[in-house]
Amino acid sequence: MSRKQQIPRPESDLGSDDTGCPILHVDMDAFFASVELRERPELRGLPVIVGAPGARGVVLSATYEARRFGVHSAMPMTRARRICPQAVIIPPSHGKYSEVSRGIMALFGTFTLDVEPVASDEAFLDVGGARKRLGRPVEIARMIRERVVREHGITCSVGVANSKFMAKLASRHCKPDGLFVVPADRVTDFLHPLPVAALWGVGERTERSLTRLGVKTVADLAGVPVAALQRELGQAMGARLSALAWGRDERPVTPHAPDKSIGAEETFATDVDDPVEIRRELLRLAERVAARLRRGGHAGRTVSVKLRRADFTTVSRSRSLREPTDVAQVLYGVARDLYTASGLEGVPLRLVGVRVENLHPADGASRQLSLGERESGWREAEQAMDRAARRFGRDAVLPASLVRPPFDGMDP
């Protein structure tokens, strides 16, 4: 298990007093794996892992039966197979997960408009304004759990608290398939016995720094003067962790928080040193990123590439455009140039990625053309590809250079 998943549960039962606790954190249980088990119920109760089965694959999701063996997300598949050889491996079906995720987020919207998705399988909800219509927060949490099971065939865990931070801890505490309330007047009773690694932002490096101060639990941290924490961790981090140690988190639930970046990456089955093949993969990734930009109504100004060598050394390069774009050919042109300028042409690569940042709303009516883009050309062609993909599947229409086998000598 990961460090965060090793956090022990507090022993005391805090009860169900939800007075002053309008914030819910709803988190699906083993989301990808649970979606797969809807269609393969005979696998329920068995250790199941979702992920690419190849040697370079990683675990995307694992049932709790597999997690008991130490399997966790982002673990290399080779290690997962080694520690849990009896696991059933299921290749991922991302389109299916996206469809379920959209349905779940729409379900949340029937309870409150104050929904802040933080991942495809979790969200914060502020149900303070729904009390008169639907009842107490804990009752709303029960209704959400019942509807997720009834309408989507999977389970979720819900934390109820007076802040986003405490609601997130509460949902983690009751996994899987649970509901837990942290009463507003018992926040420190719940929080202080936890190890300091339970706090947001406490990674291994920060944990080592706190250990030097004699801090092992959240209660220990709460007893350290803020000035001492700031000297050790810096002004901002010291102040933030001191506030969290007392359960203080003033951040509101922000509906429809905008994406900060959109990207895609690919880990090769074997290291690739052929520049033509690398550029072909960059084009494929640019197509995926551009489609996601258009689907979300975004355009971006900063394009970056990630290039990971065989020894896991990672090189990142970025470039900003004069105008934001959602056109794959523009993204690919920048990504290709960044790869050429990286000095890694001919060097074996394990992974490549393309990401777009500095996002803006895409407004086709007022949008200026990117350098080299025709008035009626790539963007219209890619929009037509979007329509074909929605009707016939993502691979229904592809650039010629992505069709296998590639044309002789073609260099995308």
Q: Widest CA span of the chain, in angstroms?
A: 71
Ligand-binding site membership of 27 (annotated): yes
What is the crossing angle of helices 275-296 and 378-392, to 10°?
80
Any idea what DSSP says for residue 91?
-
Contact 181, 161 (CB under 8 A): yes
> DSSP strand E in 129-202: where?
156-161, 179-181
Contact 355, 306 (CB under 8 A): yes
Query: Cα separation of 109 and 114, whole Å?
Result: 8
120 residue type, one letter: S
Residues annotated catalytic, as ranges: 122
Contact 187, 181 (CB under 8 A): no
Nearest residue to 289 via CA among 321, 328, 344, 320: 328
Any idea what DSSP says for residue 123?
E
Ligand-binding site membership of 126 (annotated): no
Query: Cα separation of 303 and 285, whole Å?
Result: 12
Residues in the annotated binding site for Mg(2+): 27, 121
Residues in the annotated binding site: 27, 121
